[in-house]
């Protein structure tokens, strides 16, 4: 839909404080042992701290996050896998598969994520991809689709068997952000103990943050090889804020992650900037109280940034014919942009209530006032 040029009668701007604040690239301000590190907001993907996050490095078993999400998305978790000799003979960490053994794919994925089974990784790859090589192609295609520009996979487990096997802290954060949108993956990655249906034994997750070190941990994946050193991806959640942290080549990775998480939780909070539902009554009274947005807008902000939020609403100029024929009014009548430091952090369509589009009950203005009135010194919006 084409929007008309901006004009005073159809533009509404919600302003908190104006200043010269700008969003800039995250700079190291947390002490970490890792050669590469990053922590991001699990919802928006906003980088909150980073250190050499785009440097290509070996990543060891955090590779298995890609293997796991592809297995989950295959829709084959309840299928039975016949373990090949190639899978059973894979070196390194293992769930002790035997050639010819029949195992449920779901059990293999749990063994992959909780016990870091390299044998499970190959068995998964062969079943889901048709061959190990076919699965590696799928891994790299998925990486490209997700914008992982500095990543190359050559196996499903992360062993140092190829020179050109690498990723970055940033790319692995992107991958994890995507994977965590999948409920099944989230459940597997956050499982502390698992009893396999088609194998013996009870597996305990190797992620010590999840099993006791950090109360807000929700999952992740550990990794280690002689060349990659210690690698770790972890997720956490506190008071509505979800975070993703990645470290590569980190001698003290558990504490690195705890330090990054704690810093963000101490200095940032997830705010509801706009609640789904009504938009405040417009100066141009044509749309009245029938203009609305369909979802909440939330964003992770520190105290200073909270005062920099601006909401800009642009609406279509009403046509005279619409007054006599309300059905002619388009479903989408404009857009709502949320800006911080001159950067757009959210852009949503504004809908007009009709038989096809029913607005939620919660008032946009009510929520906006409740969140920001104190920060703005009383006056919340202006036209």
- What amino acid positions are annotated as catalytic residues? 61, 64, 116
Answer whether 55's CB lies under 8 Å from 228's CB.
Answer: no
What are the CA-CA distances from residue 221 to residues 19, 25, 154, 328 (Å)? 41, 26, 19, 53
3-class state of residue 9 by DSSP: helix
- Residue 110 neighbours by CB under 8 Å, 6+ apart: 188, 191, 194, 196, 203
What are the CA-CA distances from residue 381 to residues 228, 292, 372 (Å)? 52, 17, 10
DSSP annotation string for 182-195: SHHHHHHHT-SEEE
- Residue 13, Cβ density class (10 Å: 0-12 exposed, 13-18 middle, ≥19 buried): middle
What are the CA-CA distances from residue 351 to residues 122, 334, 368 (Å)? 49, 7, 18
Element (H, E) at 309: strand 309-315
Q: List residues forming the annotated binding site for substrate.
A: 221
Residue among 77, 82, 15, 134 at smallest CA distance from 372:
15
Task: Give the Cβ contact number of residue 139 at 10 Å.
Answer: 24
Q: List residues forming the annotated binding site.
A: 221
């Amino acid at each position: 839909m084409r929007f008309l040029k901006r004009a005073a009668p159809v533009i509404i701007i919600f302003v908190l404080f104006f200043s010269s604040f700008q969003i800039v690239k995250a700079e190291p301000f947390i002490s970490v042992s890792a050669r590469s590190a990053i922590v991001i907001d699990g919802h928006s993907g906003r980088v909150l701290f980073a250190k050499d996050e785009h440097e290509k490095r070996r990543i060891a078993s955090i590779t298995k996050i890609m293997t796991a999400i592809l297995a989950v998305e295959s829709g084959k978790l309840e299928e039975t896998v016949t373990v090949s000799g190639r899978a059973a003979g894979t070196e390194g960490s293992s769930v002790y598969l035997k050639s010819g053994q029949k195992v449920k794919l779901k059990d293999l994925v749990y063994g992959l994520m909780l016990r870091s089974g390299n044998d499970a990784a190959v068995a998964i790859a062969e079943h889901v991809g048709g061959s190990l090589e076919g699965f590696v192609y799928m891994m790299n295609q998925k990486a490209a689709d997700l914008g992982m520009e500095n990543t190359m996979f050559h196996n499903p487990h992360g062993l140092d068997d190829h020179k050109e096997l690498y990723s970055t802290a940033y790319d692995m954060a992107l991958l994890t952000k995507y994977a965590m949108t999948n409920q099944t993956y989230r459940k597997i990655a956050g499982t502390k103990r698992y009893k396999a249906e088609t194998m013996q034994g009870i597996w305990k997750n190797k992620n010590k943050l999840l099993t006791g070190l950090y109360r807000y941990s929700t999952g992740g994946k550990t990794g280690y090889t002689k060349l990659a050193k210690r690698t770790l991806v972890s997720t956490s959640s506190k008071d509505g804020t979800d975070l993703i942290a990645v470290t590569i080549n980190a001698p003290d990775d558990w504490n690195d992650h705890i330090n990054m998480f704690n810093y963000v939780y101490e200095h940032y909070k997830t705010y509801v900037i706009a609640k789904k539902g009504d938009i405040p009554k417009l100066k141009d009274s044509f749309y009245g109280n029938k203009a609305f947005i369909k979802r909440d807008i939330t964003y992770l902000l520190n105290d200073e940034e909270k005062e920099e939020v601006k909401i800009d609403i642009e609406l279509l100029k009403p046509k005279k014919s619409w007054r006599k024929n309300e059905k002619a009014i388009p479903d989408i009548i404009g857009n709502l942009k949320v800006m911080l430091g001159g950067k757009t952090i959210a852009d949503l369509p504004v809908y007009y209530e009709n038989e096809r589009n029913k607005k939620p009950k919660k008032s946009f203005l009510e929520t906006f006032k409740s969140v920001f009135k104190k920060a703005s010194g009383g006056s919340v919006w202006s036209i």
